[in-house]
Amino acid sequence: MRKQIAAANWKMNLTLQQANALMDELLATPHQLKDSQEAVFGVPFPYLINIKNKLAGKKNVFVAAQNCYDKKAGAFTGEVSAEMLKSIDVDYVILGHSERREYFNESHAMLAEKVNLCLTNGLKPIFCCGEPLAIRDAATQNAFVENQLKESLFHLSAQQLTGFVIAYEPIWAIGTGKTASNEQAQQMHAHIRSVMAKQYGTAVAESISILYGGSVKANNAKEIFAQPDVDGGLVGGASLVAADFAVIINSLK
């Protein structure tokens, strides 16, 4: 069975003291992870080592950086390289989040380089894709998301994509007042899997964990995760509440 993953994205939130308190509270909150399940914590850069230490010895629990730079090293003040993240034993890196694409103009080519650097350094990308409202309204979302995958991932080998993690974000359903139904989530996840199957074969596509990133909450996670092609969630706001994220972890298949 492919991995079922509850991934927290804390974004640019919390002081160090608040981050420590949140993690301590979560670790004290009843939740359990089966062998096929993982909890991943995407925390701000300054807290990575600290949270990594808190999770030491915990089974199936990992830390993620929220980004990395698309160059190996050099005069890029303020950036963080994949090699730096590897040196502190980071496990995952979130790449191509809709906020990075929108606010920082990250291109398909840039994301392809980031994926390459992560894989070279033994880091696991959580590759984000998804369409904005105008694309959904035009009913061209399938082609839009397929192009995102093609431009940033199709240079990789089948071996590199076996066990890969993709996160689908319906950008049009986040903070717009519109809601993505469970059926819409399943339809896009199935489409993503079919795109990967067409390029790399069914076995590779079936090994890929596809997470849903459209406002997953404690009260809807179980229904969303029950969809056959939804393998967990990339969770924003609800991951900042220990009790809620514990419920989300317990909602994994």
> Where do the domains of the chain lie, and which CATH numbers do they carry?
4-250 (3.20.20.70)
Instruction: Report the pLDDT averaged over residues 7-26.
Output: 97
Q: Which amino acid is at 176?
A: T
Q: Is the confidence at residue 179, as pLDDT, over 90?
A: no
Helices and strands, number each (H, E), in the chain: 12, 8
Phi-psi region of 163 (alpha: psi -120 to 50; beta: other; left: phi over 0): left
pLDDT at 173: 84
Q: Exposed, middle or buried: residue 210 (CB in 10 Å: 0-12, 13-18, 19+)?
A: buried
Helix, strand, or coil (residue 127): strand
Helix, strand, or coil (residue 76): coil
Helix, strand, or coil (residue 247): helix
Per residue in 181-232, pLDDT (tens digit) is: 999 999 999 999 999 999 999 999 999 999 999 889 999 999 999 999 999 9
Contact status, residue 167 vs residue 7, Cβ threshold 8 Å: yes
Per residue in 102-124, pLDDT (tens digit) is: 999 999 999 999 999 999 999 99
Give me the percent of the chain exceeding a pLDDT of 90: 94
Per residue in 54-100, pLDDT (tens digit) is: 999 999 999 999 999 999 999 999 999 999 999 999 999 999 999 99
Assessment of whether the complete model's pTM goes beyond 0.95: yes
Averaged confidence pLDDT in the chain: 96
pLDDT classification of 177: cutoffs 50, 70, 90: low
Task: Round to whole Å and give the CA distance between 237 and 233.
Answer: 12
Q: Give the residue from 18, 74, 97, 28 showing the smallest Cα distance to 50.
A: 18
φ, ψ for residue 239, nearest 5 deg: -80, -10
Q: Give the residue from 93, 191, 91, 117 showing the smallest Cα distance to 149.
A: 191
pLDDT at 215: 85
Catalytic residues: 97, 169
